């Protein structure tokens, strides 16, 4: 698992979460990534993320088809743009869901290394 995903395998699922705000709301919110479409091909996650407001302590919940997809947090925009999963922050491939708490401000970069 991991490695560079070639351009011909464009069944990738990139997601860039723009800056999480410094302010924290009274209670954390769980954001289901992709809304009702979940973490799957054919969803424009840039549009989805632009419609959300993220705060430190909020949660991202990824629902995906077991064995077909994974969630890979990559270190920076370059790895995200190139779909390189060689040195991930995390790689979640077990089960069919994954939840992570936003613990810092700044961008988060996610891809699916399977396709």
CATH number at residue 86: 2.60.40.420
Q: Does residue 2 fall inside a structural domain? A: no
Q: Does residue 4 fall inside a structural domain? A: no
Domain count for the chain: 1
Task: Please report the pLDDT score of residue 62 as a whole number.
Answer: 93
pTM (2 decimals)? Answer: 0.76
25-73, pLDDT tens digit by residue? Answer: 668 999 999 999 999 888 888 889 989 999 999 999 999 988 888 999 9
Q: Which structural domain range is residue 33 located in?
A: 15-111
Q: Does residue 106 fall inside a structural domain? A: yes
Q: How far is residue 111's CA from residue 62's CA, in Å, rounded to a whole number?
A: 12
Q: How far is residue 28's CA from residue 52's CA, in Å, rounded to a whole number?
A: 13
Q: Does residue 5 fall inside a structural domain? A: no
Task: Please report the pLDDT score of residue 10 as a whole number.
Answer: 33
């Amino acid at each position: 698992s991991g490695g560079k995903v070639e351009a011909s395998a464009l069944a990738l699922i990139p997601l860039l979460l723009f800056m999480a705000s410094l302010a924290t709301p009274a209670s954390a919110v769980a954001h289901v990534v992709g809304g009702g479409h979940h973490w799957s091909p054919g969803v424009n996650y840039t549009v989805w993320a632009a419609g959300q407001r993220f705060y430190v302590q909020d949660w991202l919940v990824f629902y995906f088809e077991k064995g077909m997809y994974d969630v890979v947090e990559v270190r920076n925009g370059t790895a995200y743009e190139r779909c390189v999963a060689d040195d991930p922050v995390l790689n979640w491939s077990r089960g069919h869901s994954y939840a992570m708490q936003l613990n810092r401000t700044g961008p988060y970069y996610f891809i699916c290394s399977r396709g």
